Amino acid sequence: MAEYSSILLENAVDSLSKLPGVGKKTALRLALHLLNEDPLLTEQLADSLIKMRHNIMLCERCHNISDTKICSICSNPRRDENTLCVVADMRDVLAIEHTATYNGLYHVLGGVISPIEGISPHDLSIEALVERTRNEDIREIILALPATIEGDTTNFYIYRQLKDFKGKVSVIAKGIAVGETLEYVDEITLGRSIQNRTSFN
């Protein structure tokens, strides 16, 4: 016998409870909320999730999440094309955009080098970054990776790969606490750490 006297409800609760941080009780609360509200709400939710999952892509230039082949930041003529900010994750792009202190372009690595998690340099878009320094008129590369051992390792690896790059390579200031990831840093600290970036060597 179904736990909820309804297989339909049970299936919905099962699907919802597969989401991170959502247990059975929360999933049931969410499902009953949808049942109480206008069917349109459920339709919009289902539709937006399906459209997102099937149509989202990575920007061919910066590897950020995008609806188009080239993302809205890369194709914005008002952005400074001579400065490139290297981040681990698309959430870090959001965090830096929120500080409103940076007007250059980005390069999203897709993670940091981590032998423990089995992430090697070849799993990240480091080669594409080196390629960009050859093909684009980049004068400064700002490394904005997490202030962790993995982030430092990745900084160092990238710095060595950029040996032919004639421009400046800088890292964001260690205003952000060591061990913290960029996502949860407050905007003022993160903004200042971009302004106080130091030369990498």
Residues near a copy of itself, by CB under 8 A: 1-9, 11-12, 14-16, 18-22, 26, 28-35, 39, 41-56, 59, 64-67, 71-73, 76, 90-91, 93-94, 97
Question: In this complex, which beta carbon is closest to a copy of itself, that of residue 100 or of residue 163?
Answer: 100
Question: In this complex, which beta carbon is closest to a copy of itself, that of residue 92 or of residue 169?
Answer: 92
Angle at which helix 24-36 crosses helix 39-55, to 10 degrees, equals 120
Distance of closest approach, residue 135 Cβ to a copy of itself, in angstroms: 22
Question: In this complex, which beta carbon is closest to a copy of itself, that of residue 94 or of residue 130?
Answer: 94
Q: Which of 102, 84, 90, 86 is nearest to 191 (CA)?
A: 102
Which residue bears the tokens 């089995």? 118
Distance of closest approach, residue 68 Cβ to a copy of itself, in angstroms: 9
Q: Tell me the sheet residues that pair with 168.
A: 140
Distance of closest approach, residue 9 Cβ to a copy of itself, in angstroms: 6
Q: Which of 79, 74, 72, 76 is nearest to 132 (CA)?
A: 74
Distance of closest approach, residue 97 Cβ to a copy of itself, in angstroms: 8
Question: In this complex, which beta carbon is closest to a copy of itself, that of residue 45 or of residue 178?
Answer: 45
- Main-chain phi, psi angles of 170, to 5 degrees: -125, 160
Rounded Cα distance between 85 and 195, Å, is 12
